Structure 1
Amino acid sequence: MSPRNKELNEEIKDARREQILSNALKLFARKGLAATKITDISTASNISQGLLYHYYKSKEQIFVELLRDAYDKMIAAALVLESLPLSPLEKIKMAIEKLLQGFDENKDTAYYYLLINQASIFEAIPDEAKEIVKGRFLLYDVITRIITDGQKDGTFKKYDAKDMAVVFWTSLNGLAIYNAVQGEKFKAPDANILIGMFIEKVSPTN
């Protein structure tokens, strides 16, 4: 087989793998891991069950890969955000605006949040997935540190920073669920609504 044909075959395999992952993500988000059958994924991907097994040994393996990919990207983005030479307010604004933009531009963003929620709640998931889910604490820690810095400079309200980080993430989780329910009708709310929940109100001068 020529190098060109090998390259083409790899491209086909990569495209098919992405197709499987995308369809599985939607099914897991809507039905959950337990209720999703491997045949559901193969049918949605328009491939035979046998061919699907050529790429993944089980639906659990697909679930774990999707979950790991979601957390890897979210954790990497959170750490980059924290390291930027911006004020705490600018960081929180950027985080909220980018996440809302993701909801508007890519439907899979909401599905990933639903997948993470399921993995965080349900017991009937692979042990490997349970280990990955522990990474959510790092996400909360990053936002907690940013909020703490904003409280020190007087930008953010003086509530418990950890509680405010919980409000930050649960608000986005709620929007992800709403996005999934609304479908094409979904329109992300004004980012200032969320940002306003954190900002300390400045008293008007006389």
Structure 2
Amino acid sequence: MSPRNKILNEEIKDARREQILSNALKLFARRGLAATKITDISTASNISQGLLYHYYKSKEEIFVELLHDAYDKMIAAVLALERLPLSPLEKIRMAIEKLLQGFAENKETAYYYLLINQASIFEAIPDEAKEIVKSRSLLHEVITRIIIAGQKDGTFKKYDAQDMAVVFWASLNGLAIYNAVQGENFRAPDANILIGMFTEKSK
């Protein structure tokens, strides 16, 4: 096989793998892991079940890869946000605006949130997925630190910072569910509504 054909084959494999992951994400988000069959994923991806097994050994393996991808991206994003030379208020505003933009422009953003919620709630998930879920605490810790910094400079309300971080993520999770339910009719709310939950009125 020539190097050119080898590169082309790899590109085809990568594209097909992305197709499988994208379709599996939609199915998992809407039906859950238990109710989704490997045949559902192969049918949605327009490939045979046998060909799908060349890429993944099971639906559980696909679920774990999607969960890894979701957490890796979210953790990288919040850590990068924390390092930015911005005020705590600017960081929270950026986080909320970017996430709302993601919900409005890319349906998979909401699906990833739904996938994470399922992994956090349901017991019938792979052990590897349960281990990934444990890393979720880092997301809360980073937002908590940003909120504490904002309380110190007088920008944020003086409620318990950890509780405020819970409200931050719970609000976004709720919007992700609402996004999935509304479909094309989803309209992201004004970011200032969410930001106002955390800031002092004078800010």
TM range (shorter): over 0.9
Partners in 1 of 2:100 and 2:139 — Cα distance? Answer: 17
- The runs of 4+ residues in structure 1 deviating greater than 2 Å are none
| SS, match of residue 55 in structure 1 | coil
State the partner residue of 1:37: 37
- List aligned pairs for 1:16-95, cutoff 5 A: 16-95=16-95
State the partner residue of 2:145: 145
Identity %: 89
1:7-65: CA deviations, max 9, x gaps? 00000000000000000000000000000000000000000000000000000000000
1:134-155: CA deviations, max 9, x gaps? 1110000000000000000000
State the partner residue of 2:186: 186
TM value normalised by structure 2: 0.99
State the partner residue of 1:105: 105
Partners in 2 of 1:201 and 1:20 — Cα distance? Answer: 47
Partners in 1 of 2:202 and 2:96 — Cα distance? Answer: 21
| SS, match of residue 91 in structure 2 | helix
1:184 is aligned with what amino acid? E
1:182-201: CA deviations, max 9, x gaps? 00000100100000000012
Q: Which runs of 5+ in 1 are unaligned?
A: none
Number of aligned residue pairs: 203
- The Cα of 1:179 is off from its aligned counterpart by 0.2
Partners in 1 of 2:84 and 2:110 — Cα distance? Answer: 26
TM value normalised by structure 1: 0.98
| SS, match of residue 201 in structure 1 | coil
Q: Which runs of 5+ in 2 are unaligned?
A: none
1:126 is aligned with what amino acid? P
2:10 is aligned with what amino acid? E
1:138 is aligned with what amino acid? L
- The Cα of 1:202 is off from its aligned counterpart by 2.3
| SS, match of residue 56 in structure 1 | coil
